Amino acid sequence: MTTVSLKLSRTPFLTLFLRFFLIFFLIWGVASPAPAMEKRMRPHFEGLKKRLEADGFSRERLKAVYSGPDVFFDTKSVSLFFTHMEGSLNYGQFSAPASIQKARTYMLKHAGTLELAREVYGSSPEVITAILLVETRLGSFVGRSHVLSVLSTLSSLSDAKARKALWAAIPAKKRMSLKKFKEKARKKSAWAYKELAAFLRHTQKEKIDPGKILGSYAGAMGIPQFMPSNIAPLARDGDMDGRVDLFSHADAIMSVGHYLERHGWRPGLGAKKARKVIFSYNRSDYYVDAILKIAKLLDSKQKKD
């Protein structure tokens, strides 16, 4: 080691060269592996950006948004739209004793906000907590997919080349028929474009980097997993800090409470109507059954104390 250091000290040119090489490697070899991926994935968003610009989004902002390192054609997440089976999800895990205990602890920690949601919106603290438990394990898992990439990928499926790229990424044994795939892709594309526009408006209003937000493979975000189009009309500022942040527990609780109230929840609601309100949050009978079961367990536990 001493010998090497002596040699380098006598050859300043070699020392500078090695330092330059090290810096070059760190910057280009490690920190910037994205260019190849960008060239392969991002062309599918060119038509999408033109459409967004025509609908009022500035060219400068779109250029900045879609040049970010976290934006890509996300075949892994979006393919789940064409293979996912709701009934295969293990909803039973959320009514297990350990999960119920965590939910009860959560209710104690956020008792003030849950009670405020009851007072303002007439919403059930037990149902709100059950929804947050099933959606994101009470905020501990909000998803791994980049919301911007998911919604952009889905939106771009109006283009035949984008559909072809996604079709090729879906394992053959999990594919539906090509005809059904194309029909579903076009339908989901129209839906996703509205969600993407709402997402871009929300992130601009709240001064959030859209490329950094993680959520579900469907583009749902935050602790309550709201779709972007629900944020403006239904999300609420629960901690009164002047902004809506669905990754804040107070905002999440009040937003779910308001959502339920707007969809018909009232104190003393009958079982049939309660099912209908919860179904509006997630259109799955399995989901509704799970929420009602959890809420009942939480309610009965509290009455025993």
Instruction: Answer positive or negative: Cα dihedral of 255, 258, 259, 260.
Output: positive
At 221 the pLDDT is 98
At 34 the pLDDT is 38
At 89 the pLDDT is 79
pLDDT below 70 — which residues of the chain?
Answer: 1-42, 84-88, 300-305
How big is the chain, counted in residues?
305
- Placement of tokens 């791994």 in the chain: 144
The whole model's pTM is what?
A: 0.83
